[in-house]
Amino acid sequence: MKAAFLFNFAKFIDWPPSSFATAEAPFSICIFGSDPFGQAIDSTLKGQSIRGRGVTVQRVHDASQLRHCQMAFVASSERHHLQDILQAIRGASVLLVGESPGFAADGGTIQFQMEDNRVRFSINPDAAERAGLRISSKLLSLATIVRDSAGSGKG
């Protein structure tokens, strides 16, 4: 289900053209840390496209590789490395998605959470702005809005 959310998020977010290596480059979704999706994300996204770009799914093991992704899912296994990840992608247009408590307030863009046995999400517009991403008001209206936490050093 979260794999479908990732795909749908991309429909409501604009990336600057400079975030792609070429005009034909695929839309890259990267998974960093322990992969919670397994093959489900690959089969869900196989043959899909986002704004005319084919979708690729990559598992990366070094935060510096995230700079080349349009969307990066940060697994809970990496929650203690979020500040290092943010430093590694500084200046890049990467949508950072995670599910660890406090992920969005600590600088991630979108955070999944469970409420009443349903997947919900929070969005940090401060993080989106830093990454040069424009999020549709339609997507924002479905989310809980979270701002950078006080003292996080992001603002």
In this predicted model, what pLDDT tens digit does every residue of 7-31 receive, in sequence order? 999 999 999 999 999 999 999 999 9
How confident is residue 1, by pLDDT bands cut at 50, 70 and 90?
Answer: confident
Predicted TM-score (pTM) of the model is 0.92
Indicate whether 154 pLDDT > 80.
no
What pLDDT shows up at residue 123?
A: 98
What pLDDT shows up at residue 153?
A: 45
Domain assignments of the chain as residue spans, ordered by start: 2-145
User: What's 147's DSSP letter?
Assistant: -
Thinking of the domain 2-145, which architecture would CATH place it in?
3-Layer(aba) Sandwich (3.40)
How confident is residue 42, by pLDDT bands cut at 50, 70 and 90?
Answer: very high
Q: Helices marked H in the chain — which ranges?
A: 2-11, 39-45, 82-89, 125-130, 137-142
